[in-house]
Amino acid sequence: MDAISVIRAKRDGLELNGEQIDWIIDAYTHGKIAEEQMSALSMAIYLNGMTGLETSRWTNAMIASGRRMDFSSLRRPVVDKHSTGGVGDKITLPLAPVVAACGAAVPQLAGRGLGHTGGTLDKLEAIQGWRSQLTSAEMLTTLTDTGAVICAAGEDLAPADRKLYALRDVTGTVESIPLISASIMSKKIAEGAGSLVLDVKAGSGAFMKSVSQARALAASLVSIGRAHGMPTTALITDMSVPLGRTVGNALEVREAVEVLAGGGPADVVELTLSLARAMLEAAGIIDRDPADVLTNGAAMDVWRRMVTAQGGDPDAPLPRAREQLTVPTPATGVLTELDAYFVGVCSWRLGAGRSRKEDRVQMGAGVEIHAKPGDQVTAGQPLLTLHSDTPDTFSYALHALKGAVRVAPSSDDPAPAIRRPRQIVLEHVR
């Protein structure tokens, strides 16, 4: 077996067999083939795709590159959730405590932001003392005691994926549906949950820009999960507009706590409850309503215990940026567009995100949103507030907002759909 023959086969549109896939993943994980060779193979897969059998075998090879976690000792059904990433997507923060408060165990292995999408670990690190790195024993103890844990994956969990994702990120091959599917599912299957619910985003702020692309990705993910014995369902959700009223690390934590306290933006609450109901159904818990644990304080109790178990202080004040800049509404009428991608780039430029994995983020940086599509607005009223410790980034961030906002005169009645409540969950894929 050699790398060149595998590259040529996929370059020419051939289907790789199981032995070729197992060998290439193992060889790459152990540094036996060059980065440029794996780059070439990734691009060939990006251009020519993979069959369902290839994608499933590729996933299995990445799982086999490391260890698998075991939560069989837990007395609760274990269910996990994964989001494909978006702008203002703080859903994991309230969701894990909500589902745990209803009786399931939620081992949420999360990641960091890169580019315009935010990272759950970055957000939680805004909490004083909170630790993302836990040993397997600490993770199991926290799950046993609280029902939920949100932490970083260990380096021995699907190490092939960690290495390959970093390569794909710098070679323009991230958006390959087979490679995305294998990347997500290798970690989730190795994690050892009993069932999985996926939040597959569609829209300008997502990797999948159209519903049809998101549907194809969701179908691929669900198929892999079931092929590996993990019951998997997916919700396709809208990411054309930022979720909630905040984008940025501490800003989003503050908003998530508002949801746990029984308040918060309607779209964040709606998606949290939709995903919670799907997770509880997958876990076989049919006699609990997740809305109840938001109103009676049970989810907040789980949140506080979970944060404390990971070294955090749930009562400590969250960081705030040193400088703010208000962005006024450009015209009077109906706000018809607030593009998630451009808002995400704006937040990233303010310091909330990173362009390289080693970059540091500003915990207080980000964007506060004062109006959403469908709202009546008046010229000059605050539309956004930009937060940053480095005010010299404001002009750079403002440039990212060009084309992000559209206001139509009320008399024109631009689109009836704009005046209806925004639909967050677009489809279910089972």
- Let me know if 65 is a catalytic residue: no
How crowded is the C-beta side of 389, counted as CA atoms within 13 Å? Answer: 12
| Contact assessment for residue 198 and residue 81, using Cβ atoms and an 8 Å cutoff | yes
DSSP state of 246: E
Return the exposure string of 165-199: e unless at least 16 CB atoms fall within 10 Å of the residue's CB, then b: bebbeebebbebbbbbbbbbbbbbbbbbbbbbbbb
- Let me know if 82 is a catalytic residue: yes
Query: Per the structure block, which two tokens stand in for 272?
Result: 């949290």
Catalytic one of 76, 162, 163, 168: 168
- Let me know if 183 is a catalytic residue: yes
The DSSP secondary structure of 149-199, one letter per residue, reads EEEEPPTTSSHHHHHHHHHHHTTT-TT-HHHHHHHHHHHHHHHT-SEEEEE
Sequence-distant (6+) residues with CB within 8 A of 394 are 323, 325, 350, 386, 388
Nearest Cα neighbor of 59 from 188, 167, 174 is: 188
Place of tokens 């103890």: 141
Catalytic one of 57, 82, 201, 305: 82
- What spatial distance separates the first Cα and last Cα of the chain, rounded to whole Å? 38
- Let me know if 187 is a catalytic residue: yes
Catalytic one of 80, 89, 122, 161: 161
Q: How far is CA 367 from CA 87, 121, 248, 345, in A?
A: 10, 18, 6, 10
Instruction: Let me know the angle formed at the C-alpha of 328 by 326 and 331, rounded to the nearest 5 degrees.
Output: 175
- Let me know if 168 is a catalytic residue: yes
CA distance 299 to 261: 8
Q: How far is CA 385 from CA 246, 367, 373, in A?
A: 10, 6, 17
> Would strands 333-338 and 376-377 be described as parallel, antiparallel, or unpaired?
antiparallel
Give the 3-state secondary structure of residue 247: strand
Catalytic one of 65, 183, 186, 388: 183
How crowded is the C-beta side of 14, counted as CA atoms within 13 Å? Answer: 13
Sequence-distant (6+) residues with CB within 8 A of 30 are none
| Contact assessment for residue 37 and residue 2, using Cβ atoms and an 8 Å cutoff | no
Among all residues, which ones are annotated catalytic? 82, 161, 168, 183, 187
